[in-house]
Amino acid sequence: MSWFRILGSNCSTYLGLYQFMRLGYFESSTHSRTLDIPGGTIITSPVIVEYHTGTEVLQCVTPEVLNLMRVLIMLCILCIFYSMVGFCLDIIGPSKKSLRFIRRNALPSIWSVLTAVAVVGVSYLVTRSLELSIRAIRPHEPVHITYEYGCYTVTAAGAASLLATACNLLQDPPPPIECGPHRQRLVDDFEGLETFSVGMRSMPPPPPYTP
């Protein structure tokens, strides 16, 4: 699933997180260009940076873009982890006080929402970094960078997590257990399980069977 789309340039058209899972390396190359002007000729040699992933070559990807994409990968993993923790707490129903506090206050959902917001912010930084790097290499070429399905999916997941968090926090708390005088009297009168036991040896034998 792609996250960014680059239009109007010779760079890689689509960028996704899966392209940055492996360790790659950068390679720079120069291409000489000749510009004719009225006063003479100018030869330019712009430096083009390419990122090799092992399976493909990504152009216009700088070390800053690479670091931001890996930050996105880390944030997505954290968001999945927080969601799984909240799901497990809802399914198991913990009895420990600390875990019940986390589940009652929807802390995993809150962490998921904050992580999704961070993903959206880092995605914006990626677009800005891509635009600056492309304009530095090709200043006269028009460029347009848009979001793709990956960003929209994370945004929708963050909105759903925010709705779930609001529903969890706004639900009615469980009613408190009443400890009135009637309940206390019943507890005081209870002497243990032996109160309800019946001695089988003291019971008379049953009458003989008669057809």
The answer to whether the beta carbons of residues 4 and 126 sit under 8 Å apart is yes
Mean pLDDT, to the nearest integer, of 197-210?
Answer: 65
Distance CA 47, CA 160 (A): 44
Residue 59 inside a domain? The answer is yes
Residue 9 inside a domain? The answer is yes
DSSP letter assigned to residue 38: T
Among the ranges 79-83, 131-135, 170-174, which has the highest mean pLDDT value? 79-83
State what percent of residues in the chain have pLDDT above 90. 1
> Phi, psi (5° rounding) for residue 137?
-85, -45
Distance CA 60, CA 19 (A): 14
pLDDT digits (tens, 9 = 90+) for 88-117: 887 887 788 888 888 777 788 888 888 888
Residue 72 inside a domain? The answer is yes
Tracing tokens 């990122």 back to the chain, one arrives at 51
Look at the chain and report how many structural domains it folds into: 1
The answer to whether the beta carbons of residues 133 and 60 sit under 8 Å apart is yes
Provide the domain limits for residue 103: 2-168
pLDDT digits (tens, 9 = 90+) for 137-149: 777 777 788 888 8
> Does the pTM exceed 0.75?
no
Residue 141 inside a domain? The answer is yes
State the greatest distance between any 2 C-alpha atoms of the chain, in Å, as a whole number. 135
The answer to whether the beta carbons of residues 161 and 113 sit under 8 Å apart is yes
Residue 142 inside a domain? The answer is yes
Residue type, 71: V
Sheet holding 25-30, edge to edge: 25-30, 47-52, 57-59
Q: With 70 as the cut, is the pLDDT of residue 38 above it?
A: no
Residue 27 inside a domain? The answer is yes
Residue 193 inside a domain? The answer is no
Residue 195 inside a domain? The answer is no
